[in-house]
Amino acid sequence: MFFPVILAGGVGSRLWPLSRGNFPKQFLSLANERSMLVDTLDRLNPFSCDLPIVICQDEHRFIAAENVRLAGKSGAKIILEPVGRNTAPAIALAAFKAVEAENDPVLLVLAADHVIKNVKAFHDAIEKAMAHAEQGDMVTFGIVPTHAETGYGYIKRGSMASDHCFQVAQFVEKPALATAQEYLDSGEYYWNSGMFMFKASRYLEELKAFRPDIYEACAESIQEQTPDLDFIRVNKTAFEACPDESIDYAVMEKTDRAVVVPLDAGWSDVGGFAALWDVADKDENGNAFDGDVVSVDTTNCLVRGDEKLVATVGVQDLVIVNTKDAVLVAHKNKAQDVKHIVNKLKADGRSEVTFHREVYRPWGKYDSVDSGDRFQVKRITVKPGAKLSVQMHHHRAEHWIVVSGTAKVTIDETEQFVTENQSVYIPITAVHALENPGKVDLELIEVQSGSYLGEDDIVRFEDRYGRA
């Protein structure tokens, strides 16, 4: 038995415009039809393990909860980080919480956004790691390298610990290409996967010994827990005071009990579009297409469409990503530099760095179809049984036209049902609510009109999802 800990707090900026601040890559369906988080949780199904602890940022809590539900892990604990502080503090929160639930469990720490094609090999590695973790070792999983990679840190193995598991001789930073080739040729180095296994108490002991400042901040933060629906909130002030540090620097590079378990399982962290092309299914010309794509004389390209046709002629080694509100074209060998585009968008204050045109909410989602100086049109989907907050707007009126399903609408305490092809008008300052009482999705078109149409023009009086 072990306690899975899933780190789901990343941003994935090198996969923009697919991955964005409010909907990062761990919630995207990149390798198959399931999200990366759901895939990560599904890989644990053969084991008789505890429900996972998921660590995510506050703004992603409802998306994470929906992914946990889709993976059949309802009841899992979801710890909300008030701010991002890297992996060492996040794992500390999970370790403290796991010790509360069970007497010193073994933790299996996984990132939410990895691809693992050979699941059996992954399970075999976990079994090997479990034996060492139960003995008090700090286990990391080292990926057997397939090429000289400069984008990963490496782990040098030392003497054999048991059955093809090794003591860790050294952690090394991302190398230059010539050095990476030397590592590959030696057979003594593995890629650092960022996956770990150890007893909760051992991690906390090592953290306290090597980074008492992180330990104390996390201990203080977790002492003040506030349940919030499916989520666990910790003391914000204490956690904000915690240093930002990875588990590698804080613990693994300092402990004398580090063990590496080699893993050869078709692993990828999908850190950018070149890596996404590597793991994708390709046609006879080396192209990985997703969506409506028509190509002529095109080779070794990654093309992803979203609703619109994408056509290519006479190109090779390109990344072309078309979303509802942005198009990226990059050479595959330069795809890592997408992060510079993201930095420029941030500097320019562009909303595209954070938001997709389609935005997910705990009750469903909305798609901003069109907008002008004094109007905005949205397509709104409300899940069965879900309800938007009871709210009011100071600057805009709204028309709702039901496309499918049945809406229960409340306007200034007057309730009515609005069905397909019917509409309703909500005047400025009217207190109103929208609910889906049915068994299928409610689809409607919302037309806003007024002098200010920002999302912050919402005064909430009541909300079943606990939003301010």
Q: For the domain that residue 427 is a member of, what is the CATH number?
A: 2.60.120.10
Q: Name, in order, each residue with C-beta under 8 angstroms of 398's C-beta and a sequence gap of 6 or more.
A: 425, 426, 432, 446, 447, 448, 449
Alpha-carbon distance 22 to 390, whole Å? Answer: 23
Q: Where in the sequence is the domain holding 288, given as residue range(s)?
A: 281-342
Q: Both 322 and 436 in a single domain?
A: no
- Residue 156 CB coordination number (10 Å): 17
Q: Both 85 and 121 in a single domain?
A: yes
Q: What is the pLDDT of residues 224-274, one digit of tens each?
A: 998 888 899 999 999 999 999 999 999 999 999 999 999 999 999 999 999
Answer whether residue 160 shows pLDDT above 90: no
Q: What is the mean pLDDT of residues 40-52?
A: 90
Q: Which of 96-105, 402-411, 416-425, 447-456 has the lowest mean pLDDT?
A: 96-105
Last residue of a domain, one of 292, 310, 342: 342
Q: Which of 39-48, 380-389, 423-432 has the lowest mean pLDDT?
A: 39-48
Alpha-carbon distance 381 to 20, whole Å? Answer: 21
Confidence (pLDDT) at 406: 97
Residue 301 lies in a domain: yes
Residue 274 lies in a domain: no
Q: What average pLDDT does the chain have? A: 94
Q: Both 363 and 338 in a single domain?
A: no
Confidence (pLDDT) at 453: 94
Total count of domains within the chain: 3
Please name the residue that has the structure tokens 């601040």.
Answer: 21
Alpha-carbon distance 187 to 364, whole Å? Answer: 50
Percent of the chain residues topping a pLDDT of 90: 90
Last residue of a domain, one of 242, 268, 294: 268
Confidence of residue 15 (pLDDT cuts 50, 70, 90): very high
Q: Which of 158-167, 208-217, 457-466 has the lowest mean pLDDT?
A: 158-167
Confidence (pLDDT) at 48: 80
pTM here?
0.90
Answer whether residue 203 shows pLDDT above 90: yes
Confidence (pLDDT) at 163: 77
Q: What is the pLDDT of residues 372-381, one digit of tens each?
A: 999 999 999 9
Confidence of residue 306 (pLDDT cuts 50, 70, 90): confident
Q: Both 169 and 251 in a single domain?
A: yes
Confidence (pLDDT) at 162: 80
Residue 189 lies in a domain: yes
Answer whether residue 468 shows pLDDT above 70: no
Confidence (pLDDT) at 102: 79
Confidence (pLDDT) at 8: 96
Q: Both 203 and 73 in a single domain?
A: yes
Q: Both 418 and 455 in a single domain?
A: yes
Tell me the CATH number at 189: 3.90.550.10
Percent of the chain residues topping a pLDDT of 70: 100
Q: What is the pLDDT of residues 116-155, one digit of tens each?
A: 999 999 999 999 999 999 999 999 999 999 999 998 999 9
Q: Both 65 and 167 in a single domain?
A: yes
Q: Both 254 and 403 in a single domain?
A: no
Q: Which of 206-210, 418-422, 432-436, 452-456 has the lowest mean pLDDT?
A: 452-456
Query: How far is the CA of 415 from the CAs of 177, 398, 412, 418, 434, in angstroms?
Result: 67, 16, 8, 10, 10
Q: Both 115 and 58 in a single domain?
A: yes
Whether the ω angle into residue 46 lies within 30 degrees of 0, i.e. cis, is no
Q: Both 224 and 328 in a single domain?
A: no
